[in-house]
Amino acid sequence: MAEETKDETGSAVIPKGTDETPAPPKKEETQKPAEEPPQKTEAASGDDGVVSVDQVKLALRKVKDPDLSLNIMDLGLVYGIAVEGTTVKVDMTLTSPACPSGPEIMSDADRELRKLEGVTDVKMNLVWAPFWTPEKMEPRVRAYLGF
């Protein structure tokens, strides 16, 4: 068997005048090791069936202000989300204390969150500080509404 030579990239080269097939590269000669799988983040769903913050946000995107037909996440009405075991806690506000759709929005949010697998309790907390302003909306929604 002829001595194996390598080119500038480290690939095996068959010497001229031979018909040998080069041996596959040895394990330590491989180009680069496989990448590590991504690590779980705080927002990733765990193996214990607990819902993630991202799943909560997606569920809340289904809840719309009936007057504006825009979801409460894009409107900036959700101030905080906490997942504690199988309980989801949400701090949210309304566009104004006199908002006639407040009870409907709150119950819709509660209902959507209870649909999530692994959620056994939902605690909706209506807060008024900081007071909601149009600046809390997603920029694209603000532009859409002309703010």
CA distance 69 to 108: 13
Task: Tell me: cis bond preceding 130? Omega within 30 of 0 counts.
Answer: yes
**How is the chain split into domains, by residue range?**
53-142
CA distance 83 to 41: 14
Q: What is the structure's pLDDT at 30?
A: 41
Average pLDDT score, the chain: 80
For every residue of 39-56, DSSP letters joined together read: PP-TTSPPTT-PPPHHHH
The CATH architecture assigned to 53-142 reads 2-Layer Sandwich (3.30)
CA distance 135 to 52: 27
Q: Flag whether pLDDT at 130 surpasses 60.
A: yes
Q: How confident is the model at residue 50 (pLDDT cuts 50, 70, 90)?
A: confident
Which of the residue ranges 10-19, 72-81, 102-111, 119-128 would you say has the lowest mean pLDDT? 10-19
